[in-house]
Amino acid sequence: MISYEEALGEVLDNPLELGVEKVSLLESHGRVLAEDILADRDFPPFNRSTKDGIALDFSSYEQGRRDFKITGVLAAGMPQQTLNDKEECLEIMTGAVLPAKADTIVMYEETEIENGIAKILSQPKKGQNIHQKAADIQAGEILLKKGKTISTSAIGVMASVGKSYVLVKRLPKIAVISTGNELVEISETPLAHQIRKSNVISLSAALKSKDIEHQLLHLPDDKLAITKEIKQILAEFDVLMLSGGVSKGKFDYLPEVFEELGIEKVFHKVSQRPGKPFLFGRNSEKTKVVFSFPGNPVSTYANYHVYFLPWLNRSLGIPLPSEKVVVTEEVVPHEFLTLFLQVKISWNENQLQATLVKGNGSGDLVSLALADGFIKVPKGTTTFEPGSQFEYIPAK
């Protein structure tokens, strides 16, 4: 049985090459840029007023003039005008183009306007209140680099440079597969020995929150049927994500089926709790990967966050996040197993603080309802004091 560290290393050594696709800008939030985004023009594209006020020629002020006759009003969206006379000024609104032959803007609050004459009350500086053409960036320069995860502000930036469609890394297409004859649909009333599907529903919600295309499928506990279906699923999807069917039980055919269908077992079982009987595999062409999680709800949920999300980040070229939390109480490690303990999170001063959610083993619904994520507790024999720091794996 391999350690958690070895298992994660293997998973990260098997990313998929997913390629790229074009998506509409408004659909691109959270996706990974697959092209550099360049400024298509200077920004600002013109000398732009940053205040509402009057535009004038500073040399005239320098020569002692304080009263300027107003000869027009410039709004944002108007083509550039010209200040024809140094003794005159033009009213100008925020966002408007600085007129030719003007070089300074005085805001309304620093003027007194009467009978079409603006009197300057302040001591302006040459060039003030103007956002100079190309001050932010010049046409052709890179605004956003390939590989960046697209934020909502990045979407605004791309809108500015006219990217209606944007090239992003493709996301994997995933089959989310439940196994086990005891499972019934959410809308059904289970018999005494049955339970409703829930693991794959959580997985589906988690994938949906990342806009990952996926399909929910179910396999019965029958080896022939499983073999036939998995074969077809492997042809259609990049990733198989299964819940259940990989422990040592008589009806846990999946490991055999994978082998028969050319899925190489990279590892099966990890010295961790929950989530020990996890099987990770891939085909020899490295075009398909299989995450076969154990069937307990907390096991599946933990392993999705502990293995699948880092794998996804690696496949997309996103650096792996590493959050740390401080615990409020003693944490007892396991001598041989890495533990993933469910925690609730809060901010205390400037620290993210974790409180253990007391579960009742990995079948516990209540802990799933309450937890914000997991802390990773390395194996060992020394109890961690309150205030100890752990790696935090958010799971919302």
Q: Please name the residue that has the structure tokens 């003030």.
A: 128
**Pick 86 or 223: Cβ nearer a second copy:** 223
Q: Which of 63, 115, 123, 189 binds a second copy (CB under 8 A)?
A: 189
Give the nearest distance from C-beta 98 to a second copy in angstroms: 10
Give the nearest distance from C-beta 248 to a second copy in angstroms: 5
Task: Note the residue count of the chain.
Answer: 396
Q: Which of 249, 286, 287, 380 binds a second copy (CB under 8 A)?
A: 249
Query: Taking CB under 8 A as the rule, does residue 154 contact a second copy?
Result: yes
State how far the Cα of 163 lies from the Cα of 22, in Å rounded to an integer: 11
Cis peptide bond prior to 297, omega within 30° of 0: no
Angle between helices 309-316 and 4-12 (to 10 degrees): 30
**Pick 1 or 10: Cβ nearer a second copy:** 1
User: Which residues in 283-302 contact a second copy (CB under 8 A)?
Assistant: 295, 297, 301
User: Which residues in 97-116 contact a second copy (CB under 8 A)?
Assistant: 97, 108-109
**Pick 6 or 109: Cβ nearer a second copy:** 109
Q: Which of 136, 213, 330, 385 binds a second copy (CB under 8 A)?
A: 136
Query: Taking CB under 8 A as the rule, does residue 76 contact a second copy?
Result: yes
Query: Taking CB under 8 A as the rule, does residue 396 contact a second copy?
Result: yes
Residues binding a second copy: number (CB under 8 A): 109
* Residue 71 region by backbone torsions, left for phi larger than 0, else alpha for psi between -120 and 50, else beta: alpha
Query: Taking CB under 8 A as the rule, does residue 128 contact a second copy?
Result: no
**Pick 234 or 373: Cβ nearer a second copy:** 373
Q: Which of 11, 55, 174, 183 binds a second copy (CB under 8 A)?
A: 183
> Which residues, 6 or more positions from 177, have their beta carbon under 8 angstroms from its beta carbon?
200, 216, 217, 218, 219, 233, 240, 241, 242, 243
Stretch that binds a second copy, among 22-30, 54-62, 63-71, 254-262 (CB under 8 A): 22-30
**Pick 65 or 146: Cβ nearer a second copy:** 146
Query: Taking CB under 8 A as the rule, does residue 276 contact a second copy?
Result: no
**Pick 207 or 234: Cβ nearer a second copy:** 207
Q: What's the DSSP call for residue 151? A: P
> Which residues, 6 or more positions from 205, have their beta carbon under 8 angstroms from its beta carbon?
none
Give the nearest distance from C-beta 396 to a second copy in angstroms: 5
Q: Please name the residue that has the structure tokens 């794959």.
A: 200
The kind and range of the H/E element at 167 are strand 165-169
State how far the Cα of 181 lies from the Cα of 225, in Å rounded to an integer: 13
Q: Which of 73, 121, 224, 225 binds a second copy (CB under 8 A)?
A: 73
State how far the Cα of 366 lies from the Cα of 108, in Å rounded to an integer: 62
* E strand map for 193-278: 195-196, 214-219, 239-243, 263-268, 272-273
Stretch that binds a second copy, among 174-182, 225-233, 253-261, 376-384 (CB under 8 A): 174-182
**Pick 142 or 231: Cβ nearer a second copy:** 142
State how far the Cα of 339 lies from the Cα of 261, in Å rounded to an integer: 33
Measured on CA atoms in the order 368, 370, 376, 378, is the torsion positive or negative?
negative
Structure tokens at 350: 């400037």
- Tell which residue, 207, 215, 214, 211, has the closest CA to residue 168: 211
Q: Which of 25, 117, 167, 318 binds a second copy (CB under 8 A)?
A: 25
Query: Taking CB under 8 A as the rule, does residue 161 contact a second copy?
Result: yes
| Residue 129 · residue 50 · CB < 8 Å | yes
**Pick 226 or 234: Cβ nearer a second copy:** 226
**Pick 150 or 240: Cβ nearer a second copy:** 150
Query: Taking CB under 8 A as the rule, does residue 358 contact a second copy?
Result: no
Q: Which of 265, 363, 378, 379 binds a second copy (CB under 8 A)?
A: 363
Q: Indicate the residue type of 48.
A: R
